């Protein structure tokens, strides 16, 4: 009897070892595939293509409609060409063809022909009978990417600006472009920062607001900024940036630092600086980022500024984690928060914009395989996805300028910060993709903390939320979903994108915003109607937010002490050490 049990136990262990080997082989193969293809699943892409093609082939009426629309475009272009002084591209709003040289023959023909093809592909990938909305969006996105590759603006022999520059400089522009390419290739091979960005260094000319690291653990350094006024507002501000980025996006140069602006207005500001994880941190999960990140920071701030509630601020993924922490605190009757501000941060991922094109079971499985090999997801691997969302601005226009015209972009603090990438731990990023993007657990009341679910109705503090008009990472209509909840919400919609819309200091040209306060009892207004009816204001939204913070504060007091009262270990001055981790 005991021999049979031992035999069965041995067989069970052998089966487990075999299954582990099979899984390891598959993970390794998928990880290598994902690394070669930039995390894009070839299987999922092929399935979408076949789904789109089969539905289009089965829809002769749709084919006729695409043909009819294209012939009408050709006819309209031909008629305009026959009119003296009229070129079809004159009415073009595509910045790739905005140069006056594109209005001349034959270049206006190239531009117009390309745009006709773009519209034809757009028609062919939308409103195909039987094709799902998700697959339609993916097919349309893929078609745009391929069309962008073959845009006449990207081909030196069809681009009049490149031809003119080559003629005037005798080809020297192409030589400079070749040198730029070699320099970029060398930097990429040696994992060096893009050209010019080395001029910006945290603690030297960015992230220079005075302060001290007052707390450190395995995941965060907490920075307390030195007061700039004799009196400060009683309630401190704690900022939770995303760990997908370095924190100093909010403390760039002195003229556009949100941190410095708040300190100058008499606020006590604390900032989380996240550790840049390595393979050794592969098992750090979302709960670690809540407990050892947000909650550890709140505990430290509460000791430094006792008996005062905290103005909490979360940016991007940091805002998502702040919502999780705030809901957990509300559920557990922890009332240490005074307000919650969300900067381009989502809690409901049901309409998370074009990023959802890359989020499905196949893509997530491929990303997990990449992370299983490395222990983390590289910042460069995430950056590739964001570049595809803005391929004209972030890929092709730069190739044109740097390699064909031989010109270099003048680096700035935001570009340098953007190149200073971080990594995402395997477990945390896997949980983030599964729980939030794929299953939307937080918005559906299924996200659990300590074995119990949390939801937004557990949040009982006034909220200030900021969405940006051209945000493809956290679309403003997704951020706006806070209005679906019985919360006290002040919502701002500002010009700009995910980063530039937030770094929108007073005095920045061409900035505007809309703002409206919605008390809990006010009826819901659809985002489109809100946008149409809410008045525009010129300038930065920062002063409006600062006024809101003051209105939820209890007055001016003497600045608090710098650091924890029982701190014995000497910690560095701001910006700390974690921000320098490569």
Angle between helices 361-374 and 2-36 (to 10 degrees): 100
Dihedral angle, C-alpha 250, 233, 341, 467, nearest 10 °: -60
Active site residues: 316
Place of tokens 């924890």: 564
Q: Give the angle 568-569-574 at the CA atoms, nearest 5°.
A: 120
| Distances, alpha carbon 260 to alpha carbons 220, 221, 228, in Å | 21, 18, 9
Alpha helices in 126-242 (DSSP H): 133-149, 160-169, 172-189
Task: Give the SS3 label for residue 580.
Answer: helix
Residue 425: CB partners within 8 Å, gap ≥ 6?
A: 277, 281, 282, 283, 284, 285, 375, 376
Residue 44: CB partners within 8 Å, gap ≥ 6?
A: 360, 362, 363
| Distances, alpha carbon 418 to alpha carbons 120, 199, 257, 461, 579, in Å | 35, 14, 15, 32, 13
**Residues 251, 239: contact at Cβ < 8 Å?**
no
Rg from Cα positions in the chain: 27
Alpha helices in 283-395 (DSSP H): 286-288, 296-304, 317-331, 361-374, 379-389, 391
The closest alpha carbon to 39, from 389, 377, 418, 420, belongs to: 377
The closest alpha carbon to 270, from 301, 228, 230, belongs to: 301
Residue 439: CB partners within 8 Å, gap ≥ 6?
A: 446
């Amino acid at each position: 009897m005991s021999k049979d049990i031992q035999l069965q136990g041995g067989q069970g262990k052998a089966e487990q070892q075999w299954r582990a080997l099979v899984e390891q082989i598959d993970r390794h193969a998928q990880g290598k595939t994902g690394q070669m293809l930039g995390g894009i699943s070839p299987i999922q892409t092929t399935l979408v293509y076949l789904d789109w093609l089969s539905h289009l082939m089965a829809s002769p009426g749709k084919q006729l409609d695409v043909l009819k629309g294209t012939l009408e475009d050709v006819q309209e272009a031909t008629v305009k060409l026959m009119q003296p002084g009229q070129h079809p591209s004159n009415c073009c709003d595509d910045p790739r063809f905005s140069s006056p040289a594109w209005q001349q023959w034959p270049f206006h023909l190239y531009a117009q022909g390309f745009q006709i093809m773009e519209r034809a592909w757009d028609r062919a990938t939308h409103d195909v009978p039987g094709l799902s909305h998700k697959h339609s969006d993916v097919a349309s996105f893929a078609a745009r990417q391929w069309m962008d590759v073959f845009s006449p603006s990207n081909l030196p022999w069809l681009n009049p600006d490149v031809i003119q520059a080559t003629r005037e400089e005798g080809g020297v522009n192409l030589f400079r472009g070749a040198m730029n390419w070699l320099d970029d290739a060398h930097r990429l091979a040696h994992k060096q920062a893009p050209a010019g960005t080395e001029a910006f260094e945290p603690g030297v000319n960015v992230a220079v607001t005075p302060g001290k690291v007052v707390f450190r653990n395995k995941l965060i350094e907490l920075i307390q900024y030195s007061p700039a006024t004799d009196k400060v507002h009683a309630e401190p501000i704690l900022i939770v940036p995303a760990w997908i980025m370095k924190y100093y996006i909010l403390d760039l140069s002195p003229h556009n630092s949100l941190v410095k602006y708040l300190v100058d207005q008499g606020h006590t500001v604390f900032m989380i600086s996240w550790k840049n994880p390595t393979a050794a941190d592969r098992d750090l999960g979302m709960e670690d980022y809540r407990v050892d990140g947000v909650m550890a920071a709140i505990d430290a701030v509460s000791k430094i500024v006792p008996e005062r509630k905290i103005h909490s601020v979360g940016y991007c993924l940091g805002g998502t984690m702040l919502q999780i922490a705030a809901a957990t605190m509300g559920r557990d009757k922890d009332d240490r928060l005074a307000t919650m501000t969300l900067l381009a941060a989502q809690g409901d991922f049901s309409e998370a914009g074009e990023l959802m094109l890359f989020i499905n079971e196949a893509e997530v499985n491929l990303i997990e395989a990449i992370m299983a090999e490395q222990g983390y997801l590289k910042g460069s691997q995430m950056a590739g996805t964001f570049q595809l969302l803005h391929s004209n601005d972030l890929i092709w226009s730069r190739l044109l300028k740097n390699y064909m015209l031989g010109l270099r972009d003048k680096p700035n603090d935001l570009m340098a910060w953007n190149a200073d990438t971080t990594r995402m731990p395997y477990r945390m990023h896997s949980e983030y993709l599964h729980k939030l993007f794929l299953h939307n657990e937080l918005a559906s009341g299924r996200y659990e903390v300590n074995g119990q679910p949390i939801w937004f109705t557990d949040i009982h503090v006034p909220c200030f939320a900021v969405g940006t008009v051209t945000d493809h990472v956290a679309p403003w209509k997704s951020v706006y979903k806070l209005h679906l909840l019985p919360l006290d919400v002040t919502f701002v919609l500002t010009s700009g994108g995910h980063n530039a819309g937030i770094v929108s200091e007073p005095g920045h040209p061409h900035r505007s915003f809309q703002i409206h306060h919605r008390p809990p009892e006010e009826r819901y207004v659809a985002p489109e109607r809100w946008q149409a009816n809410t008045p525009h204001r010129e300038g930065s939204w920062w002063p409006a937010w600062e006024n809101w913070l003051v209105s939820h504060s209890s007055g001016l007091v003497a600045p608090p002490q710098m650091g924890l009262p029982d701190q014995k270990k000497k910690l560095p001055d701001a910006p700390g050490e974690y921000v320098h981790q490569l």
